[in-house]
Amino acid sequence: NNFYPTNSKDACVGWGWYLACDMQFYIFSPIVISVLYKYPRRGMALLLALFLANIGVTVCLAWYYHIQIGDFITMDVQPKSHIDDFMDKIYFKPWTRCGPYIVGLAVGYILRRKETFSLDLMPRMVKLIFYLSGWCVAFVCLGSTLYALYTPSRDQELMTRGVSILYASVCRPVWGLGLGWLVYACHTGYGGYINSILSASFWTPLSRLSYNVYLVHILIIDLYVYTLNVPMYYNDISMVILYLGTVFASFLAAYIVTVAVEMPFFEMEKVFLSRRK
């Protein structure tokens, strides 16, 4: 999981650390939800405090351990100890990963209590400005998080310590804010073409395979990398082809796992539970 062993290379399924994070968030969330249910204002204040604490803890860890957030993309110029610290102290831990989950809890609560947070009484122009501003901020949040590392990645240069700490502390919470707005806008009828694309029916069968895709995709990548007989030379065309091939092979393998393992156990579970009733 994300606590032991500390080195993911020693784990059986090293990339399963995120499943542990998700489970830890799931176990903790009823506490926050109960506060939101009984004391809505205190609950929202608690979410805000947790959100800010997530950023603050990440800042403290990155500063204390001299961690560079660009360790992955600048491995050639980073000591291995820095990379290990980055993985163990920040990358795997739930207290540095919980920002988007906290945003999700807040958005879910707002949508559940839509009568409290309704914008129907707003003038049409004010509502339009609100949603346009929200989409602009969301695109800035998502784009800045995604492309902020472009220059250091291209030039293989370390970021300054201040910039590194800033990015390490806000990249995931800001990404969560962008996705939170996307969900809110689409749910309230202001998603436009984005909502039409994300709500298309062809995503449904793919979504049912997504969990197993997560479990097998690293194996597909390892199979390709470890069977190479010559060094890999990167260019745009080869990476696009490699990406599409990996996606197709991952979904194909996930389909086999779903049909051969997940679905039979799911049916056995239904039979077992029906007999108990």
**pLDDT tens readout for residues 200-239:** 999 999 999 999 999 999 999 999 999 999 888 888 899 9
Evaluate whether 25 touches 101 at the Cβ level (below 8 Å).
yes
- Residue 120: per-residue pLDDT: 75
Long-range Cβ contact pairs of 125-133 (< 8 A, separation 24 or more): 131/185, 131/190
CB 212 within 8 A of CB 254: yes
Q: Mutual orientation of helices 124-147 and 161-187 as an angle, nearest 10°?
A: 140
The pTM is what?
0.89
Distance CA 273, CA 13 (A): 30
pLDDT tens-digit series, residues 120-142: 778 888 899 999 999 999 999 99
Share of the chain above pLDDT 90, in %: 61
Residue from 175, 206, 193, 15 nearest 102 by CA:
175
The structure tokens listed for 78 are: 């980073």
